[in-house]
Chain A
Amino acid sequence: MSDLSSAAPRSSGPSPSIAHSSDSPLSDLQPSDLQLSNFPGGLALESEGLCKSYGRRKTRFEAVRGVSLKIAPGEVLAFLGPNGAGKTTTIKMIAGLIRPDQGWVRIAGRDPHREPQALRGVGAVLEGNRNLYWRLTPLENLEYFGVLRGMPGKRVRSRALELLEAFGLLDKRKEPVQKLSRGMQQKIAIAVALIHQPQLLLLDEPTLGLDVEAGETVKKLVRQVAASGCAILLTTHQLNVAEELSDRVAIIRAGQIVAEQTTEDLIRQFSQGAAYRIEFEGALDAGRRQEMALLGASVKGQFIHYLPTADTTSASTTLYKLLRILEPLPLLEVRQDRPDLTDVFLQLVQTND
C-alpha cells in the first residue's frame, strides 16, 4: 500500500479545513476544483426540509420528515440512526436516486433532481450494493465509471492508475474484481466513487463486513479523502468508526433529526453530570470517609465515586474538596466516566422512544 499516512489531521469543527498531501493523487482535489468560488456559501451539500413517504392511505408511512443537512468541503458528517430511521432514503434523495415529496437538495449549488450535471459533484458507495462490475478488473471498472461520470476519455486512464497506486491496488489492476477480497473490493468501490473528483462523497456503511485490518484501511482512506477537501456524508452502525472519523454528527430517528452538532460538543454535552472516579493508595480513616459522604461521595476500597449535580461549578468545587480531604495520600487516577458516541446515541434514541 502506498503512503496513506500523509493525511492531514481531522478538522475539529464544522468549518472546512482543506489540507493537501502533495504525494497523493487525492491531493489533486484543489480548492479551485471545489466549490469555494463556484457556489454560494462554500457548502458541498445543502438540503432543506426533505420529506419522503411510502405507501398509500392505511399503509402510508413517513420515512423521512423534514431533514435538513449541510456539509462544508473537507468535513465529515456522520449520519447515524437505528435501522429504518430514514438514513438510506435521505442519502438516496441527496444522490438524486429517490425523489423527495418535499424539500430540496443542492450539491455544489446544483439540484441533482433537475440538473443531471449536478451529479458530477457526487460520488457514492451505497450499502448492500456491489457498486462494481465483478467481471471487470479494478482498472477497467475505474475507466468505465470515469467515463460514465463524464470524464474525458484521455484523462480517465491516468487518474485511474493514480488512484490504484494511492489505494495500494496497482498490482491487482488486472485481476477480475470477483477474485479479490471483500476489503479490496470496498477500496475499489471508494476509488470508483472518487474517480471524477467529486465535491461530495456519500458513504453508506463503508466498513460493514470488513475485517479489522481492511476496516482500518478504509478509515484511513476516508480521512485522507476528507483532507483533500471532499465533503463526506457517512452512515454507519459502527459508532466507534463514526466517532473516530466525524467532525459532526447528525442523529436521525423515525425520519427526524434528533441531534446535530460537532462530535466533540455532543459528547461533552452528554458528559455533564457524569460520575468521577478517584483512585488512591493507602488507607482512608473513618473520619475522612464521613467527610466525603457528607459531600456526596462514596468510598469503596481504593476508589472514591462522586456523582455530581448538574451544576458544573459546584461539581468542580466539591471535587477539589474531596482531593483536599485525601491529601497527602498518593493519587493514582482522577477520571470522569465520559460517555462515548455509542452511549450518546443510545440515550438519544431511547429517550425519544
Chain B
Amino acid sequence: MTDFTDEQIQRYSRHIILPEVGGKGQKKLRQAKVLIIGAGGLGSPAALYLTAAGIGTLGLVDGDVVDLSNLQRQVLHTTDRIGAPKVESGRQLLEALNPDVNLVLYPEHVGAPNILDLLADYDLVLDGSDNFSTRFLVNDACYFAKKTLISGSIFRFEGQLLTIKPHAGYPCYRCLYPEPPPAGLVPNCQEAGVLGVLAGTIGILQANEAIKEILGIGESLARHLLLYDALDMSFRKVARPKDPACPLCGTSPTITTIQDTLVSCSLQTQP
C-alpha cells in the first residue's frame, strides 16, 4: 500500500475496502496492461470503467473518426468531437477521468500486418470490433501470442460474451465458431441496428471479466458463452468445450499463421 499516494488511496478506496481486491488487488490493476480493440460501442464503456478502476496501461486501437451516428451508443465521444479520430476523442474523456492511467493510442485499423505488434506489450485484450474478419484475426493472434482475450459482441437486442485463454487449456473462439459466415449470410454491419444501451451492457461486462482475470477472482467465463437478451431481460450461460478438431488450437491445426479472413458486410437478415 505504501506506494499509493494518499490521493490514490482515496480514489480507489471503494475497491481497497473489498477483501477480494484490497491494496494488493489494486496494485495488480495498476500493473495490468490492457488493449481495447475498437473505441466504439463496446470499447467506450469498457475503457471508461477500466480507466476508472485504475488499470496501469490502457491501449486503445481504432482507425475511425467520430460520426454523428456513433453518439447513440459510443459514450466516449461527444457532439463537438465529430470528425476527430476516435482514439483522440476518447483520450480527452479518459484523461480527465483518471490521470493515473497510461493511455496509449493507436489511430489505426487492425489487420494481419499490425496485430501482433499491437498485442505485444499487453497482458489482456478486449475485442470490441464490429466485424467477423477482425474477430477471427484477433482470436488467432491472441492464441499465437498467448494473450487472454475477452470477446463481446452485439446485434440488435442480443449480446454474447466469452473469455478466451487457450494458452491456459481453455477453448478458443474457433472452438465455438470454427469459421466465419460466408459473405452475405449474416448481417454484421452497424446498419443492422443495435440498441444503444446494449453496447453499454456488454462493454461493461467485458470490463468486469477483464478485472476478474487480472485479480484472479470469481468464476472465469473461459468455459462458457454468456447470452444476453435485452428484450427478454435474460442472461444464460451455455457450455463451451474445447474442440479437439479446432482448426487453430486443436490436435491437428490447419491454421498456423496469422491471416486476414475476408468477410464482407451484408444487410441480408439471414444467419
| Same complex origin of A and B | no
